[in-house]
Structure 1
């Protein structure tokens, strides 16, 4: 009889965590060390030649961070993972081996505002360009892919509107063109959605959000599915062709399913230096231990608040995919069967000024630029996270001037509803 794989709840506690061999410590220690002693000269040479796996310098690898990487790979069902200093760093780390001057990414137009700015403005300084497309229009998505496209990028559950991407359909298109699909799974977390099972090549996270769950540290992660054939074409020379810095080593030929993971560490972290520190990794490991419990409660609370808002006459629309009225409700059952997370938006019939007054009058909700916290959070995206966008871009992203974003936390939902009710009364005059 074949052994069954551990369940998610077991992996979120045990994956990557072993008793410390020196002390027997059961929790993963914080290895606060910059460098590591080599056994001898041959050992050092083998590490630098990528002939042996081990620790050299904490910009590249650190035992605490390695434990987190192993846990993230296990939770997402990937071959390997690389942690970085933030979600934005993870996005650069994911695309760095794939891109080059003159090449482009085809990205969803429903993305976090900071990601839109990174892709549309900062990436241009690297010579990369981005085509933004409505991923619900599959014909438009396919038409946007050309001979210079090197990645398709989307969010499993889009921030801020909570829209759910049809990952199966999108991955079928990227596969047809021999292009990797990169999915930001921050809003869903691996508990609610496992993009690799729907065809994703790489999964990126801002671990700052639900994975840590308490708003204490920033961190990012790239999970490598290990399933993409980087040598099937000449589109990805960083992975398929000789690497001069390692005496002509070919990453895909040498490391197979772990080729992207090794490249991201040996070249990406080596030269870009977007390293996650050991203490942040430790906090994130502790947060992940309760991920499933928290995500279940997040979803329960979010649905209660969303239903109340949907019934309120002062509210125009509510975008929560867990509502039966949502156009994404049926898709949720296929892509995110355990729930639609806790991030969504709602509009006010009274418009922009009422949104601002609402923000200024909440008491229990915290007005911060974050999501996925144990505390409930609120923000007016058009004037903050998405203020760099034009009004037409804001509307396309689901954050029109009359829209407020909520991240529902773990409090008593009756208290959250009462807080919104009193703030709406002050904002709307009734």
Structure 2
């Protein structure tokens, strides 16, 4: 598309990155189910491998179907480029990979998806990296946690599971002052509700498995680069600013400028880590993105209605939805997320752990699954599942205590969802 910034979100979510297939005229982006691509000649092949020409070499690195999705997501997020990969967890490792080295750390929000907390507190140690967890509402604590070995600050725009709303601009001011990037997981909000790059984020990550695909069919992840960070401003990011031995001393930032991070993610990250998105997954996600704004509007409407009903029910201790006036994040949400605060939140059930388990087992429309962002309404008891590996203190900090359930409100009839919750609560609470 030409002059893309002049188009609205609803147009871009359908058209960005795509055009009719030149060989057949197919209007929908084809699934290019191929491993490799024929070079025009030996000179063409050498130019591709030397990063002197952009093109397709091998589907671990690049694929035409995946490339359309990358361009579309970069456009919707306001970035210069994107790297799609096999899952949201892969996207997080891919996001950190060009930045980190042995002895380096990332400052991470305490309000993160339980799997992310485990990945950051346990798994990344095997790379020689570490994470410092802080309450990102405590800006002084964030500043204090950043040291000479910190290479990024990581947060979620709307945190899973509690639906907490992050002040991205405030964190960006801190990371700008420290000369390090801010990485924002925008999975729960999506670019329709939140644009982290416009609020100062350097990188945006997604589990495309969730709202972007929206139909619970495939897993995927994506890292979007703002193109605004100066990787050569200091010596903290040698992968991007120093000579790269694997490419005969090429300096990514010097050579590719704003696209340095994106090129590194493909030429080094996907080449060596192999966390590749398959073309069929990209195809399903592209189809999902076409209706993103329509679905997110309904998710928000339904979530507000269900959350309001739950808040006024005597069997419920509290509801964490930031779209409720009672939420401590309500004013921030109205300012930063004017279109809505998504479909994800938690609520605490009187009766504790046992009542939560009984509630989950008694629902009929809600599906008990370890996922979110589906068209279907989903529920899970985080303390016994997604956050089970965490300590009780970590569970509480993440908003996943034993008396709490997480819901991802779908696009069904909201009154039906309320009736389903009502009958299940009757069984759970007596």
- 1:338 paired to 2:339: yes
Q: Aligned equivalents of 1:424 and 1:228: distance in 2?
A: 50
The runs of at least 4 aligned residues of structure 1 exceeding 3 Å deviation read: none
Equivalent position SS for 1:25: coil
Map 1:340-419 to 2 at 5 A: 340-419=341-420
Q: Aligned equivalents of 2:152 and 2:266: distance in 1?
A: 20
Residues 299-334 of structure 1, C-alpha deviation per residue, up to 9 Å, x if partnerless? 000000000000000000100000000011111122
Q: Aligned equivalents of 1:259 and 1:179: distance in 2?
A: 16
Aligned to 2:287: 286
Equivalent position SS for 1:267: helix
> CA RMSD for the aligned pairs?
0.8
Equivalent position SS for 2:280: helix
Residues 10-63 of structure 1, C-alpha deviation per residue, up to 9 Å, x if partnerless? 000000110001011010000001000000010000000000000000000000
Map 1:198-217 to 2 at 5 A: 198-217=199-218
1:21/1:220 CA distance change after superposition, 3 Å: same
Q: Aligned equivalents of 1:426 and 1:152: distance in 2?
A: 43
- 1:243 paired to 2:251: no
Q: Aligned equivalents of 1:383 and 1:350: distance in 2?
A: 15
TM-score relative to the length of structure 1: 0.99
Q: Aligned equivalents of 2:228 and 2:129: distance in 1?
A: 25
Residue range with higher mean Cα deviation, 218-227 or 344-353 = 344-353
Q: Aligned equivalents of 1:107 and 1:94: distance in 2?
A: 13
Aligned to 1:164: 165
- 1:320 paired to 2:318: no
Residues 339-395 of structure 1, C-alpha deviation per residue, up to 9 Å, x if partnerless? 000000000121111001001100100000000000000000000000000111100
Aligned to 1:184: 185
Aligned to 2:254: 253
Q: Aligned equivalents of 1:54 and 1:184: distance in 2?
A: 29
Equivalent position SS for 1:229: coil
Aligned to 2:125: 124
Q: Aligned equivalents of 1:413 and 1:184: distance in 2?
A: 28
Aligned to 1:299: 300
Q: Aligned equivalents of 2:243 and 2:353: distance in 1?
A: 55
Equivalent position SS for 1:130: strand
Q: Aligned equivalents of 1:232 and 1:333: distance in 2?
A: 35
Q: Aligned equivalents of 1:4 and 1:112: distance in 2?
A: 33
Q: Aligned equivalents of 1:112 and 1:232: distance in 2?
A: 32
1:36/1:411 CA distance change after superposition, 3 Å: same
Aligned to 2:61: 60
Q: Aligned equivalents of 1:233 and 1:198: distance in 2?
A: 23
1:71/1:329 CA distance change after superposition, 3 Å: same
- 1:16 paired to 2:2: no
Aligned to 2:424: 423
1:206/1:13 CA distance change after superposition, 3 Å: same
Map 1:112-151 to 2 at 5 A: 112-151=113-152
Aligned to 2:88: 87
Shift of 1:3: 9.1
Aligned to 1:266: 267
Equivalent position SS for 2:198: helix
- 1:308 paired to 2:309: yes
Aligned to 1:101: 102
TM-score relative to the length of structure 2: 0.99
Q: Aligned equivalents of 2:235 and 2:7: distance in 1?
A: 38
Aligned to 2:78: 77
Q: Aligned equivalents of 2:373 and 2:336: distance in 1?
A: 19
How many residue pairs get aligned? The number is 428
Q: Aligned equivalents of 1:330 and 1:136: distance in 2?
A: 14
1:37/1:3 CA distance change after superposition, 3 Å: closer
